[in-house]
Amino acid sequence: MAKIFCIANQKGGVGKTTTTVNLAASLAQINQRVLLVDLDPQGNATMGSGVNKSKLSATIYQVLLGLSDVKTVRQRAACETYDVLPANRELAGAEVEMVELENRENRLRLALAEVVGEYDFILIDCPPALSMLTLNGLCAAHGVIIPMQCEYYALEGLSDLANTIKKVHLNLNRELEIIGLLRVMFDPRMTLSQQVSDQLEQHFGDKVFKTLIPRNVRLAEAPSYGMPGVIFDPTSKGALAYLAFAAEMVERIKQLSK
C-alpha cells in the first residue's frame, strides 16, 4: 500500500514543485514505485515531468469531479521512471465546482484508493493556498512535507499551515501528521540562511529533515527540459541533495511505521 504525502506550503515559490518532482524521480531511482499527483492548476509538476499540459484530453480535474478515473488519466513521466496524474488550468474550476458535490474534501482520497496497491509512494504537489484543493490533498495523505526557504519570512504563515493540518487531523483525517520540514534553496554563504536554518532546528528539532537542499541553478534549469533535476544533471549538488533526501525519507517512514 502506498504511503501518501502532500508537499505543502501556502506560500508560492518556496520549492514545493521542485521538491515533489525531484523526490519522485529520486525515490524511483531507489526502486520505489511512485505516482506524482499534480494538484496545482499551474501544472508545473506536470510540465516538469515532461508531460505537455496543453495536450491532455483528461486531467486530475475530471478525476476530482468523477468524470474519469486515475487509471485512465495518469501518464508516464518523460524520464519513464514514475507516473504523473497531470493538471492544467482547467483544475482552477474544480475549486468552485466541488463545493456542490458530496464528500467534497474526500474526492482525491477516494479516487486514489483505486491505485494505492500499485505504488510505494504517492506524492501530491499542492497549490500555494489553503484551498479546497489543498484540503483534498491533506485528506488523502498520511503526512505532510513542508519545504521552507531559509529566509527572514520563512516562519510567517507556518502557524496557519500547522493549524490547518491540526484541524484536518482532528476532524477529517486522523492519520495526517507533519512528517518534516525541508530546508530548500539553502545558501551556505549567507549568514541569514545559516541563522534561520539553526532556528528551525532549535524550534522543531527532529521534525527538520537532516538533508539540506542547496540553491542550485541546475534544479531551476531542469523544468524547461521537462526533466527533474536529478535526471537532467545527476551529479549536480542539487541532484545529490534530493537523492540524499529520498534516502532520508525512506528511513524516516520506516521509523514511523515501527
Q: Which residues bind ligand ADP (CB under 6 A)?
A: 12-18, 44, 128, 184-185, 213, 215-216, 219-220, 238
User: Which of ligand ADP, Mg ion, none sits in contact with 49, Cβ below 5 to 8 A by type?
Assistant: none
| Nearest to Mg ion of 9, 173 (CB atom) | 9
Separation CA 118–CA 131 (nearest Å): 28
Q: Is 83 helix (H, G, I), strand (E, B) or coil?
A: strand
Q: Which of 3, 11, 16, 215 binds Mg ion (CB under 5 A)?
A: 16
| Nearest to ligand ADP of 219, 230 (CB atom) | 219
Binding-residue pattern over the window 20 to 59 for Mg ion, x denoting contact by CB under 5 A: ------------------------x---------------
Spatial CA neighbour of 24 closest among 57, 2, 42: 2
User: Which of Mg ion, ligand ADP, none sits in contact with 158, Cβ below 5 to 8 A by type?
Assistant: none
Separation CA 125–CA 91 (nearest Å): 13
Q: Report how far apart, in Å, the C-alpha atoms of 177 and of each of 34, 56, 169, 204, 218 are.
A: 20, 33, 7, 14, 32
| Nearest to Mg ion of 3, 16 (CB atom) | 16
Quote the cell numbers at residue 243: 537523492
Between the two ends of the chain, the Cα-to-Cα distance in Å is 16
The distance of closest approach from Cβ of residue 7 to ligand ADP in the complex, given in angstroms and rounded to an integer, is: 8
Task: Give the phi and the psi of residue 49 in degrees, each rounded to 5.
Answer: -100, 5
Q: Is 98 helix (H, G, I), strand (E, B) or coil?
A: helix
The distance of closest approach from Cβ of residue 111 to ligand ADP in the complex, given in angstroms and rounded to an integer, is: 22
The distance of closest approach from Cβ of residue 103 to ligand ADP in the complex, given in angstroms and rounded to an integer, is: 27
DSSP 8-state secondary structure symbol assigned to residue 58: -
The distance of closest approach from Cβ of residue 114 to ligand ADP in the complex, given in angstroms and rounded to an integer, is: 26
Q: Is 13 helix (H, G, I), strand (E, B) or coil?
A: coil
| Nearest to Mg ion of 44, 81 (CB atom) | 44
| Nearest to Mg ion of 153, 170 (CB atom) | 153
The distance of closest approach from Cβ of residue 40 to Mg ion in the complex, given in angstroms and rounded to an integer, is: 5
The distance of closest approach from Cβ of residue 217 to ligand ADP in the complex, given in angstroms and rounded to an integer, is: 6
Question: Going edge to edge, which strands form the sheet with 208-214?
Answer: 75-76, 83-85, 34-38, 121-125, 3-7, 143-149, 177-186, 208-214
User: Which of Mg ion, ligand ADP, none sits in contact with 12, Cβ below 5 to 8 A by type?
Assistant: ligand ADP
User: Which of ligand ADP, Mg ion, none sits in contact with 3, Cβ below 5 to 8 A by type?
Assistant: none
Q: Is 228 helix (H, G, I), strand (E, B) or coil?
A: coil
The distance of closest approach from Cβ of residue 110 to ligand ADP in the complex, given in angstroms and rounded to an integer, is: 25
The binding site for Mg ion (CB under 5 A) comprises: 16-17, 44
